[in-house]
Every structure is written in structure tokens, then in C-alpha cells.
Amino acid sequence: MTVTETERTKTFISPNVANGIEEYRPRRSWRTWLIGRPLATADAPHQTIGKAIGLAVFASDALSSVAYGPQEMMLILAAAGVLALGYAFPLSLVIVGLLIILTLSYEQTIHAYPGGGGAYIVARDNLGELPAQTAGAALLTDYILTVSVSISSGVAQIVSAFPALAPWRVSIAVGMVLLVMLVNLRGVKESGITFAIPTYFFLMLMYLTVGVGLFRLVTGSLGPVVDPPHLELPEVLHPISLLLLLRAFSNGTTALTGVEAISNGITAFREPRSRNAGITLVWMAVILGSLLVGITFLAGHIGAIPSEHETIISQLARTALGGRNVLYLIVLGATTLILIMAANTAFADFPRLAALHAGDGFLPRQFTYRGSRLVFSRGIVVLGLIASGLITLFNASVTLLIPLYAIGVFLSFTLSQAGMARRWWKIGHLQPGEEVKEPGSTLRFERGWQWKMAINSLGAVCTCIVMLVFAITKFRDGAWIILVLVPLLVSGFFAIHRHYCSLARSLSLEAYGTPPLVRRHRVVIPIGGVHRGSLAALDYALSLSPDVTAVHVSIDPGESDRLRAKWERWGNGVRLVILASPYRLMLEPLLAYIERLASLRQPNEAITIVVPQFVPKRWWHNLLHTQTAVLLRLALLFRRGVVVTDVPYQVE
């Protein structure tokens, strides 16, 4: 015993005499093995990164979308027959145009918010609480879908290379999500280089594939795809209509998801932050645009067929690189890896955004809690579970998940750009030299604000149009889910906020007079029998107050008489009330009695129910006893002035 006590005491370092505060250090447990040793709050890293690493850290989400964007675009076109696939290339050019507008818009955000310009912050500062919460809700759902879509697409690449694995799609995907979750629970301190390797590896191989493909095209040695997957045509071919093109375009815009990542993470960059982040954004846009156009062009040229069985990347790689060889496998491996990195990005963003919401009181405060590894562990776990659930529900199919995906992103794009436009408007109306401080940035008059406002307004209008097109053309395919979910989430956020606000008001000590102090104490002790347990509780009850009443619910009158006799001997003179229960109810008569006492309670009187509770040696023994204390506590929780105490009696 003494040893254990010493052990226990050891967990406290000797009190620091200076401030009289003791420090607690946790002991090792199974979690240490799983997620690593606990980190103290003071261990939080403050490292910053350069442009090359920054690109690797923040661009994986955007860049990886070339693995599914063109494919999903072609899948829609295919409904109008093979010839319609030719529209993919011009559509990809339109998407690149949109990318240029977005990049220009976000360049301005990056310079305006050097402290991090996520849609939530920009909308909150410039548009107000409702747009901010809407942007937040849209982004949170979007991060969940980033994980589901990226991992599902990663599994699609694996299955393209090893078709025998097809039946285990869902299991592989869920396993990957849980793995990424675990890695994130450990915390990704070693981020920089671990991000750089797979990202640059992927870029190298992707450019190699596209480059070889173009070279062979020019030299005339690039043939069509050998043995392409079967094109699943509808019974009646759709005509090539505007609606069809818009639907294909919508799918293609999913390639732009993740463009906002750099503006969220500006603080991670080395000084001059905004400049470095801005340059990185341009790099990223150039790479993304070129790969998008290149892949779509080549895929069209070789006659690649969009299919659930083999990805476009796989068809392109084996056609350009000469069959299912080692290089082909490496390309698919790198693609899978970058898709996993994209999911990993969401695992960094979602918990951070959830913590931001929670800190503002719009999500449960628990999301602000940093786990033993200094990461927002609850957000990570919630994301992992929801994303796994979605993957299971949608059978790890990218095509089924896509209609849910891009609305959230484009909604947050719109709100963020509209916020920026509003900000320029405010800046334009400042006096030169005047400064206005806002939580996220400082407003200062700038020349040419009209141009800047125009750029952000263009961004807002374009992304808004894309969002509407997406919502309308994809409504029946699943977009309705998001259109229902986001308002629900937003109203949930506000309900949570109202709760925290009203709680803060009702707990506030402002205007706190002197409430009636507890001057009398009435104690009720329910007893089932007279034994050591109930006598221990009686002893405790008598130490609280001299006004103790024992209450017994009687089902069997004969047994009550015996109990009364026993009580006369052992009951220490305490008053015994017997409640007859001819209908054999145990809890209800007790509750009715307590309710009656409570209704007679005076303001300065406390009523304490002292419940004797056995604590058996083994957990399953609890099944052999009625848990009166638990039930009483639940039933009396809402009764003002009534406190339930259970006095544990440890059975030897």
C-alpha cells in the first residue's frame, strides 16, 4: 500500500514554493505506445517553412485532384457517347480560366491577412457572424469530403493496378483513413520533409508521364489505350446539351478544391510571410493548371475511357510508359500517396477550424482541447469517424461522392471573396493615414482599391455561379444532401452559441447579490434493509445534519415489520418512514416522497439524499443489484435544492 501511495505521490513534482502550485505529470499507459509520449504545452513547436516545403505541405490537396477531376468530367460526357469525350479538353481550359481568377483573388487575401486568411476569418471580419458560420460549415463538410474522396480515389488507383483487390475497396479505404487518423493523433511534428518527398515525387512522375506522352504524340508513336475498360453507356444516349456540358464542367471544378489551403496557412511560412505564401500560390496554380490541361488533352487523344474499374491516370500511364511495367506501378503508387497526403491535409485543417469555431462558442468546447500530443485530438477522431462512415455508405466510389464535394468549397470561395470585396470597399472609404483594427487584420487606406475590389468581386461572382451550376445540375445526384446539411449545421452552431451565451449570463457574478445561504440541512436516507452498508451510510448522514429521516419502500408488509424491529435496535434513534407500495414499485414511491419534501423546502434549506451503494469486487456483480443511486440521481437532477450523494460501501 505504502509503495503505491509513494508511486502516486511521485506523479506530482515537489511544489514550486515560488507560487505554491504543484505540477502533475502523467504516467505511461497503452496510449503512450499507440500515439507516443505526452507533450507538455511548452513543447509546442514554432518552426516556419520556406516556399518549396510550403508548396509540398499545402498543395497536395489541390494537386492531387488531377487524379479524379478530369476523370469525373469525362464520365459525365461519356453518357453522350464516345465522341462527346472530345469536349473534355475545352472544358479543362475553362476550368483553368477559373483557376486564374481564383489565384488572383487569393493573392490579395494572402497579402491582406498575413495572420491567416481562411474563409471563416475573412467572412467573420467583413460580412458578419452568419456568413462566417456558413463558410465554416461549408468548409467543415468539405474537409470531410476531401478525406472521403481522396482516399477513395487513392484506392481506385490501387485497384486499377491490382484489379484482384476490387472486392476489398471499402475495407482498404477505411483502413487508410484510420491510419492517417492515427498518424495525426501522434502529431506531425516532422512535417516538412515527410511532405516534400511524396509531393515532389508525384510531380516528377506526373510531368514525366505527360512529357513522354506528348513526346510520343509528336513523334507519332503514341497509340490508343490497349484493352480499355468497357464504356458503360446508358440505354438511350443523352444528346450533347448545355446541361450535360455544365454537369461535366461541375465535376471538373472539383480539381480546384484545395486552392484555398495556402491562404489558411500563411502563418506557417517564413518571413516575409505574405510574399512567400503568395509566390507559392502562383507556383501551385501553374502546376495544377498545366497538369490538368495536359492530362485531359492526352487522355482524350489516346481514347481513355472513364470507368470505375480503371482510372484515367492508370490508362494514361500504361499507354504513355509502354504497358503495366515498374514505372507504371511507381506512377500509380505516387498518385495514391499524394491522394493520401491530401486526406492528411484535411486532418490538419478540420480540427483547427473546429477548434476555431469551438473557441468562438459555436461548437462544443471540447474541440479546443489539445490532446497529449498537442493536437486537437477530438477533431481528428470525429473527422476520421465521419469520413469512414461516408466511405462505407458510398461504397468508396468517387463518382457517388463527387456530387457532395465541390459545393462547400465554392460556397466558402464565394463568401471569402465577397468578404474581401467588402473589405476593399471599407478601405476605399477610409481617410489616407487612418487605421482600423479588426480581429484578423488591420485596415489602412490603399490606392487602387477599386481595381482590387473588382478582382475579388469577379472571383466572388464566378465562384458563386459555379456553385449555383453545381447545386442545380447535381441536385438529384446528392448535392441536395449538402444543401440540407449546411443550413442545419449553421443553425446547430447558433443553437450551441446561444447555449454558451445564456450559460455565461446565468453563471455571471455581475449583479450577484447574496443568495439565501444554506442554514438547514434535511437528510433523507433510503434503506432497503438494515445492514453494515446502510449503517455506514446512516453514520455519514448523521455527520451532515441531525435532521435525518430513513425511508423504506415496503413491498412485503411482513418484511417491513422485521425491518422496523431491526431499525429500533440499530437505527440510532433516527426517524423511519415506511412507504407501502402495493403495486411493487420501488423508485416511484421514493421519488414521490422526495418531491413532496422538496415542494415544502424553504429557501435556506438543502435536502440531501444519502444513498447507500454497494461497490462489489467485480464489475458483473453490479448486474446483480438494482442501481438505485444512479436512477435516483437521474430522476432528481432537475429538482432545485435536492442533492443526491451515494455513500459507497466496498464489499470485502
Site for a copy of itself in 40-99 (CB under 8 A): 40-42
Pairing type for strands 520-526 and 605-615 reads parallel
Tell me if 515 contacts a copy of itself by CB under 8 A.
yes
Least Å from the CB of residue 643 to a copy of itself: 5
Residue of 483, 540, 547, 549 interacting with a copy of itself (CB under 8 A): 540
3-state secondary structure 141-162: HHHHHHHHHHHHHHHHHHHHHC
Give the total of residues touching a copy of itself (CB under 8 A): 99
User: In 10 A of CB 242, how many CB atoms?
Assistant: 7
Residue of 429, 444, 532, 562 interacting with a copy of itself (CB under 8 A): 532
Phi, psi of 579 (to 5 degrees): -105, 115
C-alpha cell at 432: 489616407
Least Å from the CB of residue 428 to a copy of itself: 39
Nearer to a copy of itself, 220 or 516 (CB): 516
Residue of 81, 228, 229, 648 interacting with a copy of itself (CB under 8 A): 648
Contact 289, 70 (CB under 8 A): no
Nearer to a copy of itself, 303 or 492 (CB): 492
Nearer to a copy of itself, 48 or 560 (CB): 560
Residue of 217, 425, 554, 601 interacting with a copy of itself (CB under 8 A): 554
Of 116, 118, 117, 120, whose CA–CA distance to 132 is shortest?
Answer: 120
Within positions 8 to 27, which residues make up the interface with a copy of itself, using CB under 8 A? 8-9, 11-12, 20-26
Nearer to a copy of itself, 371 or 419 (CB): 371
Per-residue mark of binding to a copy of itself, 495-514 (x: CB under 8 A): -x--xx-xx--xxxx--x--
Tell me if 488 contacts a copy of itself by CB under 8 A.
no
Nearer to a copy of itself, 444 or 498 (CB): 498
Nearer to a copy of itself, 446 or 561 (CB): 561
Residue of 38, 303, 389, 478 interacting with a copy of itself (CB under 8 A): 38
As a whole number of angstroms, the distance between CA 606 and CA 445 comes to 63
Q: Which stretch binds a copy of itself (CB under 8 A): 290-298, 342-350, 468-476, 525-533?
A: 525-533
Tell me if 28 contacts a copy of itself by CB under 8 A.
no
Radius of gyration of the chain (CA): 33
Cα distance between the two ends of the chain: 17
Nearer to a copy of itself, 207 or 593 (CB): 593
Grouping H, G, I as helix, E, B as strand and the rest as coil, residue 626 is coil
Q: Which residues lie closer than 8 Å to 520 by C-beta, 6 or more apart?
A: 545, 547, 602, 604, 605, 606
Residue of 128, 223, 365, 565 interacting with a copy of itself (CB under 8 A): 365
As a whole number of angstroms, the distance between CA 315 and CA 303 comes to 9
Tell me if 395 contacts a copy of itself by CB under 8 A.
no
Nearer to a copy of itself, 325 or 604 (CB): 604
Residue of 36, 196, 616, 635 interacting with a copy of itself (CB under 8 A): 616
Q: Is 213 left (phi over 0), alpha (psi -120 to 50) or beta?
A: alpha
Nearer to a copy of itself, 395 or 572 (CB): 572
Q: Which residues lie closer than 8 Å to 117 by C-beta, 6 or more apart?
A: 109, 110, 263, 264, 266, 416, 440, 441
Per-residue mark of binding to a copy of itself, 571-590 (x: CB under 8 A): ------xxxxxxxxx--xx-
Tell me if 615 contacts a copy of itself by CB under 8 A.
yes
Least Å from the CB of residue 378 to a copy of itself: 11
> Exposed (0-12), middle (13-18) or buried (19+): which is 229, by Cβ within 10 Å?
middle
Q: Which residues lie closer than 8 Å to 174 by C-beta, 6 or more apart?
A: 388, 391, 392
Q: Which stretch binds a copy of itself (CB under 8 A): 98-106, 220-228, 248-256, 606-614?
A: 606-614
Residue of 56, 66, 225, 644 interacting with a copy of itself (CB under 8 A): 644
CA dist 204 → 198, 199, 210, 291, 314 (Å): 10, 9, 10, 11, 16
Q: For residue 642, what are the β-bridge partners?
A: 607
